[in-house]
Structure 1
Amino acid sequence: LANLGRNKKRTILVLISLSLSLVLLNTVFTLSQSIDMDKFLSKFVDTDFLIAHADYFQNEFRGPENQTSESFIKAVEAQPGFEEGVRLYGGRAEMFAVEDEKNTTQGYNINSNGDFMAAVYGLENLPNQRLELIDGELDFEKLATGKYILEGVKLDDNGVPQMASAHFAVGETLTLYNYKGTSQTFADREYTTKEFTVLGHVSIKTYANSDRTGWDYNFYLPAEVYKTFVERPAVMSYAFNVSKDHEAEMESFLQSYTDKVEPVMNYTSKFTALNEFSGMRNTVVMIGGALSFIIGLIGVLNFINANLTSIMTRRKEFAMMQSIGMTRKQLRSMLMHEGFFYSFGTCVLSLAFGTIFSLLIVKPFCGMLWFFSYQFILWPLLIVLPFLVVLGAIIPLVLYTLTDKQSIVERLQEVE
């Protein structure tokens, strides 16, 4: 141990370089294990599959000209394992507007009458799992009367409702306007006005139950009520579930159908979301692993250089000790112990710094990203450290063997 203190700077450099790579390795695996699959999936999918026109997935859905085709829907419903499906109606071709006298600050998305442009969706089979109630109630019978409406509320990245984005309270009355029809001029369209009572607030899931645009005013109606307000109802998307034993089969069918039968159609699913999730996790591991390997290689090279330098500069010392009775076996044992102390020091520093860095840096970082749920782990270190101990003992032994080619007399004479 005293020999390691001869060149403290070199010893510290070796320990830090070796420890740094291990801390980075542990950090990489901590980040990869902290990516929360459930959080990731909940943001992008709420059913097994969702089909729509390809424009929808590029945030360019408008209406009848790029709606989900009935032929695609019928083909899906005819597949084995199909359980239930829900059409979501919407579009910008027959835009809605809402009167809101309380909003005196917004200066955009306003029509010529001073009303605010709004996204209104018609959803089949209300209520169902596609609408997550925040407050109020989901009463299908009330909604079916055409007197009630649900207001959509935006969610932050962590899925927490941003109630400041809600414009009307539960029980409050609002007025919707719409120029019904598809004529190029508003004068040729039927101007409709309808009052609704807000029955409740529901979550807007950008990638599941909206047109992915991000309107300031968002409302949901039963599909049959929605259809009375538009001349040409357009199916924006169709979400459906299948039995578990037919999920892979349905995925294969959709891939083939959108490639060969209707290329303008597309789909998302739990599988595509999982592939994105796996790709993101693999990217973190690949990039972080490469950096860990490079820094670790530098650390090992520093360790080899430190041992080689120590052996070469102590050749006379070794020769003198052997001349007074130290055997080659004892000398090798001494060098192996020195390497072991390097490894032991690296183990202590890696575990200490790895724990501190994980709790003080990685944990807060994970809290800043919506798809992370921090997991404290040290198993990557515990797996690697035994190999490091073995390496620390073997490298000095190998280096000494490679440099020990002269007799004791030759080494003493060489130094003199």
Structure 2
Amino acid sequence: MKFENNNKEVIKRITKRSLKSNKVRNIFTILAIVLTTFMISSVFSIGISFLKNYKTMNLRLQGNKATTFLEKPTESQINKIKSLKLHDSIGYEINVGKVVLDSLTKNKTSILIRYSDEEDYEKQMKPCISDIEGKYPEKENEVMASKKALKFLGKGNAKIGDKIKVPCNINGEVVNNEFVLSGYYTTYGIIEDAGYLLVSEKFVHTNNLSLEKNGTLFITIKNKYKNTASDVLNKEVSLKDNQKFNFNYDITNDTTETMMITIVLISIIALFIVLSGYLLIYNVLYIAVTKDINFYGLLKTIGTSPRQIKKIVKGQAIRISIIGIPVGLALGAIVSFVIVPVVLDAMNSGNYSAAMPSVVSFNPVIFIATTLFSLLTVLLSCRKPAKIASSISPTEALRYTGSKTKKQKKNRKSTNGGKLYKMAWYNVFREKKRAILVFLSLFMGIITFLSVNTFLNSISVENYIEKYVKNDFILTNESGEGDKIDEAIINKIKYIKGIKTVNTSKSSYLQLEMNEDVLLPAIKEVYKRFGSTPEDINEILKSIEEDPSKLSTAVIGIDDELITSFNEDSKEKIDIAAFKSGKLILLDSWSYGENYKNIKGNLTIKNVDTNDSLNAEVKVVNDNENVLPSGLPAELTLPTIYVSNSALEKLDSNCINYTLYINVDEKYESIISNKLKNLSNKCGVDFESKVEETKGFNNSQIVMNILGSGISIILIFIGILNFVNVMITGVNTRVKELAIMESIGMTKKQIKKMLTFEGLYYAVITTLFISTIGMAIIYGVYKLTKEIADYAAFAFPIVPLALLLIFIFLVCLVTPTIVFKLLSKNSVTDRIREE
């Protein structure tokens, strides 16, 4: 009968003293735990913060959380909509009027006055604005203003309580009103030339305004009903003749796929970190156990049970974790609150950078989960070493070499087995699990580095510029209304020193003639994407038949140089001569989907004011290179239509200049940039500069390179550390074996050569893995990157791969001989006798 001793205090003392006697081991283990904990918390902090801020940005650009609208609703309609319970929130806005000032007309800007009820303001509007100071107006003479409105009024420095006098057009009458500023806020909508004044409910009642006469109902549909809400609302709610539900396209739908891909990438990186951390911790503890295996064998001889030995090994690991995990979490917290905002700022460069916040999402769950995950990793890592230490007998401990004894093959020739490269091959795989762990660790570190490098090179500034920035400067009249870029401005720009070319794109709102070959497929395809049923589409077609003016849309005019440039870049060539003469009309392929190449026929464009018309053959084109200007809003989301400038001027002699594409001499770039920026501010048009976009993108690239390379280098360091640990263990546990081989005639030079072969095998096999599986992973990373950024171009990391492999080969070839040299200073006799 076996009685287990109960020496808890002794076990604790042994655990503590064993820790003190292995300071180097402790440093390695603590470092492994700190790195694993730090990297897991950092990656998830950056990832979650980015995803939340990205979602906020898209809400801000959308302007309002609501995606369904009904103008001038009645009380019964509102009650019916509420009873359907499709909504998260229902609010309303009343259009009060607009501010009338010569300065606004001159600068081609506007200030709209409106009232938002509590539900609309709190739940639908607030998530899309920021920097809110003060409160929503309650008194009749109070007003809340967007900062843009205050800027347009010349009151940019106004404070809460200040009086603001504005002439307001309400119900067709201009009335001078004096308001007291109750608050202000920042807007982020895509329309740059509109500001807003929010008035109180009392002001609305005083001016005899109501929801049914002047308002719009805003409905935020629940996610689970987004695809069916249009059918239910149109079926269940009785509408008046001039009413219809408008289902605004939810911009957040476009970002769902991007967010999912980002989550996948973050998860892959986190998985690599966890596995690499596990391998490092496992190897360090495994080395510690194998090094002290004689000690555990001696403990067995004095009555220590296997369970108690497991407690000693696990107790050491847990005590080390108590130091390593808090340090890793502290470093992760520092990164979260110091480096993450910098990273997010860098990632936000672009047209909508102001709308993207740089808020750190401090989530305690991340740090709690990281702590548990790191602790679990440590416990799993020490499980195998603890099992080895607890199960070994004192006799086995004395002759333990770190590998299982294998049955020798019969008739094994001594000359064949005596070759150094074959002996090295046998030694590498004598402990298969250990070899696989080293290969995995080296492979993952290198592949992570190369994957990050591929990701960053694929989204390089050069690729972005080549895809999206074809010209040095672009001036755009985004509203498409009012002649903000007149001929005098164009001539002024042309005479600026250093200007090489100025290409003009024009626009005019004209009416299309309905036809089944060209327009009908586009209308069906687009509304099908928006979730409309065949019955809805029939209703739309019926409304067009009753009111052909619904087919009014902006026709974009293209000058000769721009269309030539488009034809050079496009894979689908067009008849340039036919386009220039007005015999060919181009349509953007977005509205037609994948079958756009099958669209053929003629299209008629009419100017209803002059009765002039143009009937020409159409060609649907895919502007992948973004050479052509983007289209302007149309009531029925019609395809963007392009004709030559000369053809458009014949249809409408008053067509406006929509976009200017300006290219300059490089040495005058900065001077011209300042002049054009000032000019664009005066005209109220959008200004884009290749220099500014490149600068902003370069800043983001630098930060992302530092962050990505930092994570990758740490993982490579973990892989190298694992290899070095394994080689130290391999040589250390074989000191006696190598001494015996030396005693029977093997020279030190031959031993070093054999160990060098071992290192070479590690390097070569790792290289083979990288050249096969690794290349597939790298290409997969590029494909994911392409989904996130359509301008990404595959860049094979030849130079980083070559430098990395050279480094790996050097480490793998040099480490074994250095370890042997350090452990073979004593004589052969002393090494054979050493316990």
TM-score of the pair, normalised by structure 2: 0.38
Instruction: Report how far residue 262 of structure 1 moved.
Output: 4.6
Instruction: Report how far residue 120 of structure 1 moved.
Output: 1.1
Residues 178-218 of structure 1 show CA distances to partners (whole Å, capped at 9, x for unaligned) of 5xxxxxxxxxxxx4543321145374755642346585233
Contact 2:472 2:690 in 1 (8 A): yes
- Tell me the distance in 2 between the aligned counterparts of 1:42 and 1:152: 23
Letter in 1 for 2:661: A
Instruction: Report how far residue 266 of structure 1 moved.
Output: 4.7
Structure 2 counterpart of 1:154, from 589, 603, 609: 589
Q: 1:137 and 1:48, CA in 2 relative to 1: closer, same or farther beyond 3 A?
A: same
- Tell me the distance in 2 between the aligned counterparts of 1:126 and 1:410: 87
**Aligned CA-pair RMSD:** 4.5
Structure 1 counterpart of 2:444, from 20, 29, 41: 20
Residues 363-403 of structure 1 show CA distances to partners (whole Å, capped at 9, x for unaligned) of 87688785456566755434432332221122223334444
Whether 1:80 and 2:500 are equivalent positions in the alignment is no
| 3-state SS of paired residue (1:121) | strand
Match of 1:391 in 2: 811
Letter in 2 for 1:195: S
Contact 1:30 1:376 in 2 (8 A): yes
Letter in 2 for 1:82: I
Identity score, percent:
21
- Tell me the distance in 2 between the aligned counterparts of 1:341 and 1:29: 26
Farther off after superposition, 17-26 or 100-109 = 100-109
Letter in 2 for 1:12: I
Match of 2:432 in 1: 8
Q: 1:25 and 1:229, CA in 2 relative to 1: closer, same or farther beyond 3 A?
A: same
Match of 2:714 in 1: 294
Q: 1:120 and 1:13, CA in 2 relative to 1: closer, same or farther beyond 3 A?
A: same
Q: 1:341 and 1:350, CA in 2 relative to 1: closer, same or farther beyond 3 A?
A: same
Match of 1:129 in 2: 564
Instruction: Report how far residue 308 of structure 1 moved.
Output: 1.5
- Tell me the distance in 1 between the aligned counterparts of 2:498 and 2:595: 35
Q: 1:203 and 1:278, CA in 2 relative to 1: closer, same or farther beyond 3 A?
A: farther
Equivalences, count: 378
Match of 2:547 in 1: 113
Structure 1 counterpart of 2:666, from 229, 247, 252: 247
Farther off after superposition, 366-375 or 288-297 = 366-375
Instruction: Report how far residue 100 of structure 1 moved.
Output: 0.7
Match of 2:606 in 1: 176
Q: 1:207 and 1:282, CA in 2 relative to 1: closer, same or farther beyond 3 A?
A: farther
Farther off after superposition, 3-12 or 216-225 = 216-225
Instruction: Report how far residue 7 of structure 1 moved.
Output: 0.8
Match of 2:468 in 1: 44
Farther off after superposition, 381-390 or 201-210 = 201-210
Whether 1:62 and 2:480 are equivalent positions in the alignment is yes
Letter in 2 for 1:398: I
| 3-state SS of paired residue (1:88) | strand
| 3-state SS of paired residue (2:768) | helix
- Tell me the distance in 2 between the aligned counterparts of 1:266 and 1:358: 39
Letter in 1 for 2:495: A
Contact 2:454 2:782 in 1 (8 A): no
Instruction: Report how far residue 3 of structure 1 moved.
Output: 1.7
Match of 2:766 in 1: 346
Whether 1:98 and 2:512 are equivalent positions in the alignment is yes
Instruction: Report how far residue 13 of structure 1 moved.
Output: 1.5
| 3-state SS of paired residue (2:738) | helix
Q: 1:213 and 1:304, CA in 2 relative to 1: closer, same or farther beyond 3 A?
A: farther
Where do 5+ consecutive residues of structure 2 fail to align?
A: 1-423, 528-536
Where do 5+ consecutive residues of structure 1 fail to align?
A: 179-190
Q: 1:150 and 1:404, CA in 2 relative to 1: closer, same or farther beyond 3 A?
A: same
Q: How does 1:240-319 map to 2 (within 5 A)?
A: 240-242=662-664, 246-249=665-668, 251-260=669-678, 262-263=680-681, 264-268=684-688, 271=691, 289-319=709-739
Higher relative contact order (CA 8 A, sep 6+): 1
Instruction: Report how far residue 14 of structure 1 moved.
Output: 0.8
Contact 1:44 1:273 in 2 (8 A): no
Farther off after superposition, 289-298 or 37-46 = 37-46
- Tell me the distance in 2 between the aligned counterparts of 1:31 and 1:271: 23
Instruction: Report how far residue 238 of structure 1 moved.
Output: 1.0
- Tell me the distance in 2 between the aligned counterparts of 1:382 and 1:175: 59
Instruction: Report how far residue 342 of structure 1 moved.
Output: 1.9
Letter in 1 for 2:511: A
Q: 1:340 and 1:252, CA in 2 relative to 1: closer, same or farther beyond 3 A?
A: same
Structure 1 or 2, whichever has the larger Rg, is 2
- Tell me the distance in 2 between the aligned counterparts of 1:44 and 1:396: 52
| 3-state SS of paired residue (2:577) | coil
Residues 15-57 of structure 1 show CA distances to partners (whole Å, capped at 9, x for unaligned) of 232133334445555666667999855643454542235xx3x
Instruction: Report how far residue 12 of structure 1 moved.
Output: 1.6
Residues 345-376 of structure 1 show CA distances to partners (whole Å, capped at 9, x for unaligned) of 223333343455567x4687688785456566
Contact 2:505 2:657 in 1 (8 A): yes
Q: 1:383 and 1:46, CA in 2 relative to 1: closer, same or farther beyond 3 A?
A: closer
TM-score of the pair, normalised by structure 1: 0.69
Contact 1:40 1:371 in 2 (8 A): yes
Q: 1:248 and 1:51, CA in 2 relative to 1: closer, same or farther beyond 3 A?
A: farther
- Tell me the distance in 2 between the aligned counterparts of 1:44 and 1:387: 38
Instruction: Report how far residue 291 of structure 1 moved.
Output: 4.7
- Tell me the distance in 2 between the aligned counterparts of 1:376 and 1:401: 39
Farther off after superposition, 97-106 or 363-372 = 363-372
| 3-state SS of paired residue (2:767) | helix
| 3-state SS of paired residue (1:51) | strand
Letter in 1 for 2:615: T
Contact 2:607 2:652 in 1 (8 A): no
Match of 1:185 in 2: none
- Tell me the distance in 1 between the aligned counterparts of 2:470 and 2:562: 14
Farther off after superposition, 294-303 or 313-322 = 313-322
Q: 1:356 and 1:204, CA in 2 relative to 1: closer, same or farther beyond 3 A?
A: closer
- Tell me the distance in 1 between the aligned counterparts of 2:561 and 2:750: 82
- Tell me the distance in 2 between the aligned counterparts of 1:25 and 1:141: 51
Contact 1:176 1:195 in 2 (8 A): yes
Farther off after superposition, 117-126 or 107-116 = 107-116
Match of 2:616 in 1: 198
| 3-state SS of paired residue (1:129) | helix
Q: 1:398 and 1:62, CA in 2 relative to 1: closer, same or farther beyond 3 A?
A: same
Instruction: Report how far residue 294 of structure 1 moved.
Output: 3.2
- Tell me the distance in 1 between the aligned counterparts of 2:500 and 2:618: 28
Letter in 2 for 1:14: V
